[in-house]
Structure 1
Amino acid sequence: MDILNLLERIEDIIEESSKFPLSNKVMIDKEEVLEVINEIRLKLPDEINRASWVAKERQRILNEAQVEADELIEKVNHQQKYLIEEHEVTKRAQKFANQLIQEAEKKATEMKVSAYNYSDEILSKLQDRIREINNIIEANRDDLKNIH
């Protein structure tokens, strides 16, 4: 920064100036100090403008970063909400699927038992019919044996 250099120059002028005996007072070259002060005045607006620009730029960057952070947070919240909803849908679908499987297994068991019972009933009737036929055959054979 040029202003700092100019301020150091004023310090150097004061340090190099002649001192009054028995005091801390010094004699300085008025024109030289005023010339440095004038240079400071000329450069000061540039420095202030540059500092102001840096402050505004810093604020702009911070604002942009905040907007990006807010957008990212909103996106993450939206994604989180979507995943939670999807998880709930998946849980409900899984529950429904489990219910369907249980109902299907129950119906399959009922159908299997009914099929076994029906088969047993048919086989029992068939067995009874075969016994009847067998009894008829035996009776006919006995009749045939007695005819001789």
Structure 2
Amino acid sequence: MDVLNLLEKIEDIVEDASKFPLSNKVMIDKEEVLEVINEIRLKLPDEINRASWVAKERQRILTEAQSEAEELIEKVKEQQKMYIEESEIAKQAKLYAKQIVEEAEQKANDMKLGAYSYSDDILSKLQDKIKDINNIIEDNRDMLKKM
């Protein structure tokens, strides 16, 4: 910074100045010090403006970074929510599929039991018919024997 160099120059002027005997007071060249102070005054607004710009730019960058970070956090939250929902949908689909399979197996068992029952009923009726026919045959044979 130019201003710091100019302040060091004033410091050097004071350090190199002639001292009054038996005191800490020094004699300096008024014109030389005033000239350096005037240069500081001229440079100071530029330095202040640059510092102010740097501070504003820093704040803008920080605000922009904060905004981007918040957007990124929101995107991540939305993705996380979507993955959770997809996971829930998958769980529900698996549960629904399991229920369908169980219902299908139950219906298959019911149909199988129904078929067995129907077959048994048919066979029972057939057996009764065969018994009736057998009885008729025996009766007919008995009649033939008696003749």
Q: Name the counterpart of 2:53.
A: 53
TM-score using structure 2 length? 0.84
Q: Name the counterpart of 2:108.
A: 108
Choose 47-56 or 126-135, whichever is displaced more. Answer: 126-135
Measured after TM superposition, the shift of residue 140 of structure 1 is 6.7
SS in 2 for 1:48: helix
Distance 1:117 1:104 in 2: 19
Choose 133-142 or 69-78, whichever is displaced more. Answer: 133-142
Give 2:15's aligned amino acid: E
SS in 2 for 1:100: helix
Give 1:66's aligned amino acid: Q
Q: Name the counterpart of 1:30.
A: 30
| 1:74 has 2:74 as partner | yes
User: Structure 2: where are the runs of 5+ without partners?
Assistant: none
Distance 1:85 1:62 in 2: 34
Distance 2:58 2:144 in 1: 124
Measured after TM superposition, the shift of residue 142 of structure 1 is 7.8
Superposition pairs of residues 124-135 of structure 1, within 5 angstroms: 124-133=124-133
1:27-55 CA deviation, whole Å, 9 max, x = no partner? 11111111111111111111001001100
Q: Name the counterpart of 1:14.
A: 14
Aligned alpha-carbon RMSD (Å): 2.4
1:60-110 CA deviation, whole Å, 9 max, x = no partner? 101111111111122122222222333333333333222222222211111
SS in 2 for 1:101: helix
Choose 93-102 or 137-146, whichever is displaced more. Answer: 137-146
Q: Name the counterpart of 1:98.
A: 98
How many residues are matched?
147
SS in 2 for 1:83: helix
Q: Name the counterpart of 1:4.
A: 4
Measured after TM superposition, the shift of residue 143 of structure 1 is 7.8
Q: Name the counterpart of 1:89.
A: 89
